[in-house]
């Protein structure tokens, strides 16, 4: 094999190996970036629900006149009768 061609072939091989290593590093960085983004958004979206359950819900329940009862409306929303009972209990407390 001609020494010049052999040198070009070795140079091309070295460039291909270097290119392969760079591509693997880029893919690894993209994967870590994706996982970090997913974890970040999960924390951002779950934290308010956790804080509500731990701190706000017990505080709100302590002021509820009927502890342990649930609203009977669609999706758990109170009906007009439930709201009227709440208004009447508020007026009776004054």
3-state helix, strand, coil in the chain (%, to 5): 80, 0, 20
The string over 65-81, giving b where at least 16 C-beta atoms fall within 10 Å of a residue's C-beta and e elsewhere, is: eeeeeeeeeeeeeeeee
Count of C-beta atoms within a 10 Å radius of residue 83: 13
pLDDT score recorded for residue 28: 97
pLDDT tens digits, one per residue of 18-66: 999 999 999 999 999 999 999 999 999 999 999 988 888 877 777 766 6
The answer to whether residue 16 scores a pLDDT higher than 80 is yes
- Give pLDDT tens digits for 77-91: 778 888 888 888 888
d(CA 65, CA 71): 12
């Amino acid at each position: 094999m001609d020494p010049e061609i052999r040198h070009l072939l070795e140079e091309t091989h070295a460039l291909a190996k270097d290119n392969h290593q760079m591509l693997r590093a880029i893919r690894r960085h993209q994967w870590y970036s994706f996982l970090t983004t997913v974890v970040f958004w999960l924390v951002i979206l779950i934290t308010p629900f956790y804080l509500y359950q731990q701190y706000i819900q017990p505080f709100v329940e302590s002021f509820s006149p009927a502890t342990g009862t649930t609203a009977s409306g669609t999706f758990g929303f109170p009906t007009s009768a439930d709201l009227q009972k709440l208004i009447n209990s508020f007026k009776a407390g004054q």
